[in-house]
Homo-oligomer: A and B are copies of this chain.
C-alpha cells in the first residue's frame, strides 16, 4: 500500500460505486456555522453544485464555484479528481434537497431539514429511511462495494446534536480552520432543550434523534446501509459520518460497514473522530491527499485545516491510491479539475 493511505484497505473492489447524499437544512444557514458557501443563502445551492462539478466539471445551477469564506474551493474537486483517475462511477442521491442539480441524480424525496433550535428537524425521517433502504437493496445487486459520501452544509452541528442525544460526548469537526465549537454547542443545547432531550436520552430511539435534531442526510445514509446488507459499505466522511455509524449501531444495522476520511479529520484536535468510531466498533481508514503540494494556494491551505473533508474526498483519495495512482497524480489532477471547471457566465 502507498504510505499516504492508512491502514491497509482489505480489497480492491470489483464494481465499486461512489454515492454522495445531498441535502439542505436551515441549521446550515445559521451564520458562522458552516463554511460550505460564501453566504448562508448560497448553502442551499452548494450540494447541487457539488453534484454538477463531479458529474460534468461544470457548475450550472449556482452562480459561482462553491467555496468556503476563506476562498478554499469545495472538496468536490478532490473527489472529482480521484473519480477521474479511477473511473469509478458516482451517483448523487437527493434527500431533503431544495435546489436540484442539472445532472442525473437519484431522488429519495423528503423536505429540507429545519433549524433544529426552532422546530423538529425532519418529521419525514422514517419515509426517507425506507426509500433509501429500497434503493440500497437494488444497488446491492449491482455493486460489491458502495461508498456513501455527503454534501450538506451545517452537517457537523446536527451530527453533534445526534451524538449528544445518543450519549456520546465526543466533539465534531468543522469546515472552518478555526472550529466554531462554542457556537455549535450553543445551537445543540438549544435544540436538545427545545425537543426535551437529555444527553443520552434517545439511546434506544435513534430515529427520534434524527427526527428531532438530525438532518436529511442521516436517514438516507442509514437506509442505504440497511438496504446494502451483504455488500461492503464504506461511509465516506468525517465526524458527520461517524455520527451515522453511531446511529447505525443504535438501530442495530448489521453488515460489513466501515468509514474512510482524510488525515485532516483524523488529526483534528478539536474533534473526536477516532474516539467516536472506536466506541461504535467499526474500522476506519484515511488518506492524506497531500494538498500542500498543490500549485494553487486556496487548495494548499486544505493541509492547514481548511475544509478538511466533504463530498467523500478522503475515501475518494483512498480509492485513487488503491487503484495505483500516486499522491502526486491526485494533486495534479485536483489542480487540473479546478483550473478547468466551467462556471456560469455572469
Contact = CB atoms under 8 A, between A and B. Distances in A.
A102 B109 contact: yes
A143 interface: yes
Interface residues of A, number: 30
Copies in the complex: 2
A148 to B, nearest CB: 14
Interface string A72-108: 0000000000000001111100100000101111111
Query: Interface SS of chain A: helix, strand, loop or mixed?
Result: mixed
Given A15-B142, A142-B142, A104 B131 contact: yes
B100 A134 contact: no
Contacts of A87: 141
A97 to B, nearest CB: 10
A105 B109 CA distance: 9
Contacts of A90: 138
A135 interface: yes
A132 interface: yes
Contacts of A91: 138
Contact of A103 (B89, B131, B142): B131
Contacts of A135: 104
Interface in A111-129: 127
Given A91-B138, A106-B107, 20 more contacts: A15-B142, A55-B134, A87-B141, A88-B141, A89-B137, A89-B139, A90-B138, A94-B107, A100-B109, A102-B131, A103-B134, A104-B107, A104-B108, A104-B109, A104-B132, A104-B134, A104-B135, A105-B107, A142-B142, A142-B143
Interface of A: 15, 17, 55-56, 87-91, 94, 100, 102-109, 127, 131-132, 134-135, 137-139, 141-143
